[in-house]
Amino acid sequence: MKRYFREISVTLALGLVLLGLAGFAPAFYQPQPLLSLATREAPTLVVACGMVLVIICRQIDISVGSQFSVCSVCAALLAARGWPLAMVVPASAALGALLGAVNGVLVAGLRLPSIVVTLATMVTLRQGLNLVRQGAFVNLPDSVQWFGLSQAAGQWTLVGAALALLVAFGLAMRHLAAGRWVYAVGTDAEAARLAGIRPQLVTFLVFVLLGALTGLAATMNLVQSPQVQPMVGAGLELKVIAAVVVGGVAISGGRGNLWGAFAGLLLLACVSPALTHLHIEAYWEKAIQGAIILLAVVADGVRQRKQKF
């Protein structure tokens, strides 16, 4: 109970928000808008799965938004040239993995701080994309939206896929040796090395994995509308990192899990539509999201102090 205090408290907060909405804005609970909301958040959840691993490993990647944009535009251009989705999706994931590998090599290989490395790749990728694309939308063939299925079928497919990935990663992190290695490296890299784990390899691989998931998420977003804006994914890194931190994953590494991050994501994703339903001015949106993050960070700080003394 005490061990999972953070996860439980986030889930409780989410429950309170949902209860409050049921009382004050029952119109929030309509199947179609809710399914739309879930579908819009599905790609974010997939990126969050990768981010949980990177942060548990005591690293951070703030270039995911730019990676997402680059993968989206490349995947869209391939789809527009007539590539079938069955090839576009792996190609986008591979491109994402490659971008992640660049971060991974710089962080794990050269031992550079990940915040600086990914800040550099974030800016480089974003500006490079602007330079090449000049902000022009990419129009997609009609067969791309919802994989050519009906809208409802496409939406359920995306939500289902994201949830399946969440469960798979959640179980793997707990039960597979590779999952435990990530915790070990994040807790104490030197101790992990003495225990026979190769910390630099694990660090490299979590960056690659996050990149691949980001590339996959880009295609999950791609199939939701008939055109892609190159700005897509701007600010995604903040959204994802916020969800992960609110969900109880310690930014200092070694602690947290995917279920908490999932609850954190849902909580933050509810803020904007909840304000619209409660007819509260949009100015509050970022303030409330900020307050939630602050609360989470303070809770972590208090807990750490208690452990020390």
Partner 1 sequence: MKNPLPRILLVLGLLAGLTSVSAADGKLMITMMPKAKGNAYFITCKVGADKAAKELGVELLFDGPTDSNAAKQNEIVENWITLGVDVITVAAENKEGLSTALRKAQKQGIKVITYDADALPDARSFFVNQATPQGIAWGLLDEAARLCGSEGEFAIITATLTAGNQREWLKLIDERLAAKYPKMKLVAVRPSDDLKDKAQSEATALMSANPNLKVIVAICTPGTPGAAEAVKQAGKVGQVKVIGLGLPNENKRYVHEGVTESVMLWNTSDLGYLTVYAAVALARDELKPGAKTFQAGSLGSFEIRGDNILLGQPFIFNKGNIDQFDF
Q: Which residues bind partner 1 (CB under 8 A)?
A: 25, 27-28, 30, 32-33, 36-37, 40, 127, 130-131, 134-137, 139, 151, 221, 224-227, 229, 231-232, 234-235, 272-273, 276-277, 279, 282-283, 285
Name, in order, each residue with C-beta under 8 angstroms of 251's C-beta and a sequence gap of 6 or more.
Answer: 55, 60, 245, 297, 300
Q: Closest approach of Cβ 236 to partner 1, in Å?
A: 10
59 or 92: CB nearest partner 1:
92
- Cβ atoms of residues 29 and 274 within 8 Å: no
- Cβ atoms of residues 275 and 285 within 8 Å: yes
How many other β-carbons are positioned within 10 Å of the β-carbon of residue 1? 5
- Cβ atoms of residues 100 and 94 within 8 Å: no
Looking at the DSSP assignment, which residues form a beta bridge with residue 227?
139
Q: Closest approach of Cβ 75 to partner 1, in Å?
A: 15
Q: Closest approach of Cβ 130 to partner 1, in Å?
A: 6
Q: Closest approach of Cβ 10 to partner 1, in Å?
A: 22
252 or 276: CB nearest partner 1:
276
140 or 208: CB nearest partner 1:
140
Cα separation, 204 vs 198, in Å, equals: 10
Q: Closest approach of Cβ 221 to partner 1, in Å?
A: 7
| C-alpha distances in Å from residue 185, one per residue of 3, 108, 199, 227 | 20, 12, 6, 41
On the CB side of 273, how many CA atoms lie within 13 Å of its CA? Answer: 22
Nearest residue to 84 (alpha-carbon basis) of 230, 223, 284: 223
Q: Closest approach of Cβ 249 to partner 1, in Å?
A: 25
Nearest residue to 292 (alpha-carbon basis) of 232, 259, 233, 248: 248
206 or 232: CB nearest partner 1:
232
233 or 260: CB nearest partner 1:
233
Q: Closest approach of Cβ 298 to partner 1, in Å?
A: 27
5 or 284: CB nearest partner 1:
284
Cα separation, 155 vs 174, in Å, equals: 29
109 or 160: CB nearest partner 1:
160
The torsion angle over the Cα atoms of residues 28, 162, 243 and 114, rounded to 10 degrees, is: -160
Q: Closest approach of Cβ 100 to partner 1, in Å?
A: 22
Characterise 58 by phi-psi region: left (phi > 0), alpha (psi -120 to 50), beta (else). left
77 or 167: CB nearest partner 1:
77
Cα separation, 155 vs 36, in Å, equals: 7
